[in-house]
Amino acid sequence: MIDEVPLIQTQPFNRPAPSLVDALRQTPTGFLADAMGGSGALDYRIKPAIAHQYAFCGVALTCHAGPADNLALVHALQHIQPGDVLMVATDQFTACAVTGDLVLGMAKNCGAVGFVTDGCVRDLVGIENVGLPAWSVGVTPNSPHRSGPGAIGFPIQLAGHRVCSGDVVVADRDGVVVIPQALLETVAQKLPAIRTAEAAADEAVRQGAKRPAFLK
């Protein structure tokens, strides 16, 4: 007899130490990308649904909902821990929204600090009232089904990037950057030198510099 595959599959994962997450908090995404060799950002088409609600820093909780369905996303609510960022892959499906204000409100009540999807969202007035930063490729009032299948906690492909649960995700006005959990310590160690170099370059511009220092 072949066992029936559950509609929603889940995979446990380890979250990073809070100190490693805190080390990246309030860090410009450009600095984080520089610390990873100039990469790590999601596709530029991922934008905040509400322009002034964009910033967050938290731990990725991945969800593969698939096209036109959000059963996995709804199930993911029970796995959220405070400080998590819901990372929801729809296989880039944009004919309907994967969520609206109600599920995002529940996610915030569970402790989520951000939401990112390669699909669409809806209910902008409600999302603004919820106050949870929600990034997507667009907005549409069309609604999804809730049929499954789906997966929670597994690695996903989201906006041209591999994302694993337990990675750290940071968003600011420049975009969304994903720092793999295995690189957290390395990135944190590189940041002081990057901050110092950026501060020196900023000061040089304020003092009237007309070209980078490496151009003698």
- Per DSSP bridges, beta strands 168-172 and 56-64 are antiparallel
CA distance 187 to 51: 28
Q: Is residue 126 pLDDT above 50, yes or no? A: yes
In this prediction, residue 1 carries a pLDDT of 45
Binned at pLDDT 50, 70 and 90, residue 4 comes out as: low
Q: What is the 3-state secondary structure (H, E, C) of 98-163?
A: EECHHHHHHHHHHCCCEEEECCEECCHHHHHHHCCCEEECEECCCCCECCCCEEECCCEEECCEEE
**For the residues 38-67, what does the mean pLDDT come to?**
97
In this prediction, residue 3 carries a pLDDT of 57
Distances (CA, A) of 79 to 45, 83, 139, 203: 28, 12, 26, 46
Least confident of 85-94, 156-165, 207-216: 207-216
In this prediction, residue 214 carries a pLDDT of 81
Contact in structure between 77 and 152 (CB atoms under 8 Å): no
Binned at pLDDT 50, 70 and 90, residue 5 comes out as: low
Domains and CATH numbers, the chain: 8-206 (3.50.30.40)
Contact in structure between 117 and 136 (CB atoms under 8 Å): yes
Binned at pLDDT 50, 70 and 90, residue 147 comes out as: very high
Query: What digits encode the pLDDT tens for the residues 193-209?
Result: 999 999 998 888 998 88
